[in-house]
Structure 1
Amino acid sequence: MSHPTPTPTPTPTDHRTAPAATARPVDTETFRAVMGALPTGVTVVTTLDSQGGPCGFTCSAACSVSQEPPLLLVCVNSRSKVLREILGTGALAVNVLRDSREWVSSHFASRAEDRFAEVAWEPTGTLGLPWLADHTVAYAECRLHSAITAGDHTVVIGTIVGGAARQSHGPLMYWRREYAGWPTGPDLTLATEG
C-alpha cells in the first residue's frame, strides 16, 4: 500500500512585521502634526536640586503605567537639568495643571533661570517636593522606579507614594499647539496627604 506524498508546507512569512523592518521614521513635521492631534493634559514635573531648591519643567508627555504597583511615567529631554536632578534625588512630583493656568505652563516651558520666582509652591506631604497647590487639579509625588533612554528623551517611571486630586476646576488641556479647559465636578481626594 502506498501513501500519498505530502505536499510541502511553504515557509511562513510573517506579513505583519516584514515591512516594519525596513520602514523609515517619518520626518519631524509629520511627527509633530500626528502627535499634536493627540489632546493631552499639561503637567509641571518638579523635584529638588542638590542644594534643596525647587526646579521643574512643563511636560505634556505623562501617563499612568500600572495600578499595582502604582506607577506613572513622564518623558524628559535627556539634556535637561531637571532630569539630572530627578536622577540625583530619586524623586519627582507631577503637578497636573488646572484650567486657565496657561501662563504657568508657558513659564515652566521658558528658559527662565529661576522658574519658581513667580510661582508659589508648598512641599508635598511625603517627600517634600514642590507642589504648585494654587495651580493644580492633582499632584502625584513619586519615588524614582526606573529611567529608560528612548531617542532624545528619557522615560522616567515613578512609584506614586502620595498625592491628591480635586475636581473644583477642570484640567488644562493642550491640542494642536493651543490650550483649552475641561468641565468640572465635585472635589475628590484620591490619596493620602502628609
Structure 2
Amino acid sequence: MTQSTVRTTAATAAPSDDFRVMMGSFPTGVAVIAAQDLDGTPRGMTCSSVCSVALDPPTLLVCLREGSPTLQAVLASGEFTVNLLHEDARGLAELFASGDSERFRKTHWERTAEAAGPHLPRHAHTIADCAVALTQRMGDHTTVYGRVRRIRRPSGRPPLLYGLRQFAAWPTTS
C-alpha cells in the first residue's frame, strides 16, 4: 500500500515568464472549448490544455482561465464540447484566442439537441461532448474534468499543433 501526501513548503515559485517559456516549448494539440450560457449565448476559447484522464469511464480534462465567459458557461450549463482542430484551422484558433466577442458570428458552428456545446465541424478533426464531472481551481485557472458522452469525427485531417509560440501541422511521411 502506498500513501500520498501533499507537502507545503515555503519555497518560492519559479518566475511566471520562465514557466511560460518552459511550457511553450512543449508542443501540444489545439482545441476550442465551447459551451452555451443558460440564455443560449455561445462561448468558446482556444485551449491547448487538454488531457486524457481515464478510459473507463472516458474522462478528459481541460484547464480554463478563471473569470472567462467560457468557464462561466461550462460551470452554469454543466457541459461542454472539445473541438480538436485540424491542420488548416489556425485562423480559427487565433480568432478564439483573440477575445473577439463576435467570434461565433465569424465562423460556422452548429448545435444539435444531443450536443454539449457548439460544434465547429469545418475546423475540427474530432469533437467530444462532455458532462462536467469535477472542477478544481488552481491559481488563475480551473481544471474541468469532463465525462465524454459522445465523439464525432467530421474530418480525417491531421491535427493542428502549437509549440514554441507557433502553429504547425502534424508532419506526414509519404
Name the SS for the 1:161 alignment partner.
strand
Shift of 1:128: 5.1
Which of 12, 24, 43 is matched with 2:31 structurally?
43
Letter in 2 for 1:110: S
Report the structure number with the largest CA radius of gyration: 1
Superposed, which structure 2 residues align to 1:113-192 within 5 Å?
113-124=101-112, 126-127=114-115, 129-165=117-153, 168-183=156-171
Name the SS for the 1:107 alignment partner.
helix
Tell me the distance in 1 between the aligned counterparts of 2:55 and 2:155: 21
Name the SS for the 1:31 alignment partner.
helix
Shift of 1:129: 2.0
Name the SS for the 2:34 alignment partner.
strand
Where does residue 93 of structure 1 map in the other structure?
A: 81
Which of 98, 108, 111 is matched with 2:99 structurally?
111
Unpaired runs of 5+ residues, structure 1, are 1-16, 186-194
Unpaired runs of 5+ residues, structure 2, are 1-5
Higher relative contact order (CA 8 A, sep 6+): 2
Could you list the runs of 4 or more consecutive aligned residues of structure 1 that deviate by over 6 angstroms after TM superposition? none
Where does residue 189 of structure 1 map in the other structure?
A: none
Letter in 1 for 2:43: C
Name the SS for the 1:123 alignment partner.
coil
State how many pairs are aligned.
Answer: 168
Shift of 1:165: 3.1
Deviations 1:123-142 (A, max 9, x none): 25623521100001101000
Where does residue 58 of structure 2 map in the other structure?
A: 70
CA contact (8 A) 1:95 1:132 kept: yes
Q: Give the TM-score normalised by structure 1.
A: 0.80
Tell me the distance in 1 between the aligned counterparts of 2:82 and 2:113: 14
Name the SS for the 2:87 alignment partner.
coil
Which of 54, 60, 75 is matched with 2:42 structurally?
54
Name the SS for the 1:116 alignment partner.
helix
